[in-house]
Amino acid sequence: MFGTSGVRGPVGETVTADLALSIGRAVATDGAETVLVGRDARETGRFLADAVAAGLAECGADVIDLGRVATPTLARSIDRLGADAGVVVTASHNPAPDNGLKLWTPSGQAFDTERRERISDLIRTDAYAFADWDASGGRQRDSTATAAHEDALIAAADADPIADLEVVVDIGNGVGGVTADALGELGADVTTLNAQPDGSFPGRPSEPTAETLTALCGQVKSGDADLGIAHDGDADRMLAVDETGTFVPKDVLLALFARRAVEDAGGGQVAVPVDTSRCVDDAVAAAGGEVVHTKVGDVFVAEAAAEPGAVFGGEPSGAWIWPDETLCPDGPLAACRLAALAGSRGPLSELVEGVDTYPLARDNIDVGDKAAVMKRVAEGVRADFERVDTTDGVRVDTDDGWVLIRASGTQPLVRVTAEAGSEAAAERLRELAADRVTDATA
């Protein structure tokens, strides 16, 4: 039922009010007595949030309704408001017809695998603990969450290098307006794009990519801004544009954040998924830190970032975690940290140029039975190579570079990603891996 980012999919098909009701019942039955509920700008979030709240109250949990808020805003509010859990109704960067639900703990970390499985089991077995008629939960509104998040951002940021920066913030018609407000309070001259929350995402698709951020790139370049910031629909992601109007590659942005976190801490571990570029390993090692690889998904990165000695965790998708602040990917915090970095060590384009990158080669291969194919691939790779990592899929490190063979989480595909010191070497690794997958389908 749950993927690495909760439940997500088309409304009326994968995601229904009945499912939301069941999730609310299960979270309360699992022991949560007070639960925060919030949603992004999608109109379908209204009835889904009501359904979650009804299920929670039906099984005795009190509901604190935050209304329309960013995901990191809700995640940060759980502990502050003395709650036991939080439910965000959001499909994050997915298109407008989708919605979803993601579950959070007081630390700001998403429910881990074990707790997600408990919730799934309760739903499958209808094993809910309904409250007596006079012991059902109450529901109250709280309007302090966004202001409290803004205060936390201001406290966590270094205002001096941000003051007088010109920043363009593309909110993407989502709920990440707290970023623009916080940067403004820190002294930046802020221009916004797509600032009106609208779950149909009329300004651009919800997912910020090099292809969808052309308006932001143009605005930064023509307006002589120092940088551009972009969020997805619920603002757990943050991606950037440098002062020339050029999209900052995702792995490079991860390398910049990771290196600064290690430098500031005087060492430490950085958690990244197994498909992360070696440019991050290089940047972290040069700063005196160590990279720890996780499964793909910000849930798994957060679990590793929660371990002692971890100073940062990130995914090239745009999810950035500073465990000293919160274990939820916090796009607004990332925006403030990047602005401070550009203001103190920039311009951003020069920081980007200072990160050595490597050629990548990718392939998607149609398969019938993903699990069976991956099992055969893993057996053959273990027998033929020494440096094999099966944390998520099969990753092989060679003298030339690395290659990852991993089943798609949503499609009947096996994905191949190869990186090496030259395009020719990356292509050789891709071909080697693709041949392994093709042979395993026979």
The answer to whether residue 92 is catalytic is: yes
Q: Please give the Cα distance from 152 to 321 (Å, whole number).
A: 15
Q: At what angle do helices 278-286 and 250-265 cross, to 10 degrees?
A: 20
Alpha helices in 130-289 (DSSP H): 145-156, 159-162, 177-185, 214-222, 250-265, 278-286
DSSP summary character for residue 246: P
Q: Please give the Cα distance from 299 to 260 (Å, whole number).
A: 22
Residue of 5, 22, 77, 92 marked active site: 92
Regarding beta strands 310-315 and 166-170, do their DSSP bridges make them parallel or antiparallel, or are they unpaired? Answer: unpaired
CA distances from 263 to 260, 286, 297, 335 (A): 5, 9, 25, 19
Considering only CA atoms, which of 105, 123, 118, 103 is closest in space to residue 22?
A: 123
- DSSP calls for 314-330: EETTTEEE-TTT-SS--
- DSSP calls for 59-88: TT-EEEEEEE--HHHHHHHHHHTT-SEEEE
Residues marked as catalytic: 92
